[in-house]
Copies of this chain bind each other. A is one copy, B any other.
Amino acid sequence: MRVSVLLSVLLGAALALPAALPAQDLRQSVETYVGATQKEILSKLMAALRFPAVAADEVNIRRKARYLRDELAQRGLISEILETNGNPLVYGNLSVPGASRTLLLYCHYDGQPVDPAKWRQADPFQPVMMDGQLSHDSQLIDFESAESFDDDWRIYARSASDDTAPIIGLLTALDALKAAGIPLSSNIKVILDGEEEDGSPSLVAAIERYRDRLDADLLLIFDGPLHQSDRPTVVFGARGIMAVDLTVFGPWAPLHSGHYGNWAPNPAMQLAQLLASMKDAEGRVLLEGFYDGIEFTPDDQRVLDAVPDNLEKLKTVLGFSQPDRVGNSLQEAIQYPSLNIRGLESGWVGAEARTIVPGRAIAAIDIRLVKETKPDDIYAKLITHIERQGFHIVAEDPDDVVRAEHGRIVKVIRRGSMNAYRTDLNNPLARRVVAAINAVWDGPIVQKRTSGGTVPIAPFIEALDIPALGIPTVNFDNNQHGPDENVRLGHFFDSIVTFAAIFTM
């Protein structure tokens, strides 16, 4: 029994739940449909990319929202625009006869703001197709005259991969299944966010207003790139975040380091000593209880070990040889909360340097949270640690009285925080998704117990209180958030297969 559970975890096999159709037949059906309608599908994707839909552009956001609502309606979904405190949500609902479960699919239809001067194409909202990655050798494809489309070709446009391709991909998966006469096994609800790149500020509040429409058994987030190995990927969680600013105070104003050096206390040194006290030489956090409650089951461990990270190559590419030793691998490391100095500032360096004892020294810190670590608790541990280092903690810059009474003074400002989320690796519905993707691609997929970064959808997941999985599909080198964002056609085509497998699992 134990062995079979382990095998099922490792291979992502569903437990005694055969797929409605042999996976390879499904794949062949969908790929046949996609092969026959490539140009039409790509036309739709490029049409959706022509809206300059950044969250701040209300007019074009609403144009794209209406366009996508109509696309949902054309596929038989009851679709509507849901108003929120900000940009509207696009909603669709497809009831499937006999389905005993409901999948809620989340994508976002807004894209990152653009700096057109940094793009190679004139207009990031006029998609162009290239015969490969942008380089001196890559050629522009004349889409109108092209008859077939190579997997290595790419479409360049803002929101191409983040996150318009998955929206068109899921619509196409519905088309492909319909064309092949393959029934869906789940009810499908679709929710498209118009503010994700702005941090989804209106999403949680919208749940109260539209809770009935959002009821589901599993939330699937169609966003993000595949693991670097390019294997199909399922993500079970994401770390949360909390930011803290520390300011240590020395003299009121910078002092002449000759007249006062050795006598006036140096806030940069005090800050260095405070920060140094927080980690050991191998990067492990020394705050008491920082890692409390974190442990891996053997199943967890096997999932972590199975991720095909090429750490030697990664270290070379990133430029270091000695990683921190929180856990024994990158995957283990991101299962733990982190404490990261993201910024330091005091006095001046380089050509601006002057011979002073600085008046203050600032460290900007981010703390990544995992499901076991709650922001309030970690913050309390941080405060305790700072106090134990002999610092007096203030919330405002100290006045004469505070300065006269305390030797070491630090202002601690807690910025916003966002919780982690993590779905149980053994959640039955999650296992079914893993099994379906695994079967359709005929090989072990990458299961990420937690991704290291923080996603603005985490509060939405928390408020919905249902299991959630990330299903990334686009190419890793998509230049997400930067200039020259793109989606590789092969990844886009494959996403249609992946989505079809989920819809019929």
Contacts and interface: CB of A to CB of B under 8 A. Distances in A.
A257 B357 contact: no
A85 interface: no
Contact of A407 (B250, B252, B321, B451): B321
Interface residues of A, number: 86
Contact of A349 (B336, B344, B348, B356): B344
A264 interface: yes
Interface in A340-360: 340-350, 352-358
A390 interface: yes
A262 B350 contact: no
Contact of A283 (B245, B269, B356): B269
A353 B342 contact: yes
Interface string A308-350: 0000000110111111101100100110101011111111111
A362 B266 CA distance: 16
Contacts of A405: 321
A433 to B, nearest CB: 23
A347 B273 CA distance: 19
A314 to B, nearest CB: 9
Interface of A: 238-239, 241, 243, 245, 249-253, 255-266, 268-269, 271-273, 275-279, 281, 283, 315-316, 318-324, 326-327, 330, 333-334, 336, 338, 340-350, 352-358, 361-364, 366, 368, 390, 400, 403-408, 451-454
Contacts of A356: 342
A458 B15 CA distance: 84
Contacts of A344: 268, 271-272, 344-347, 349, 358, 361
B364 A261 contact: no
How many monomers of this chain does the complex have? 2
A215 to B, nearest CB: 30
Given A276-B273, A344-B361, A349-B344, A262 B336 contact: yes
Contacts of A333: 262-263
Question: Of residues A238, A273, A277, A330, which shows the largest number of chain B Cβ atoms within 10 Å of its Cβ?
Answer: A273
5 contacts: A256-B453, A263-B323, A320-B403, A340-B357, A344-B346
B452 A261 contact: yes
Contact of A259 (B342, B346, B452): B452
Contacts of A271: 272, 344
A269 B278 CA distance: 9
A318 B251 contact: yes
A236 to B, nearest CB: 15
A325 to B, nearest CB: 9
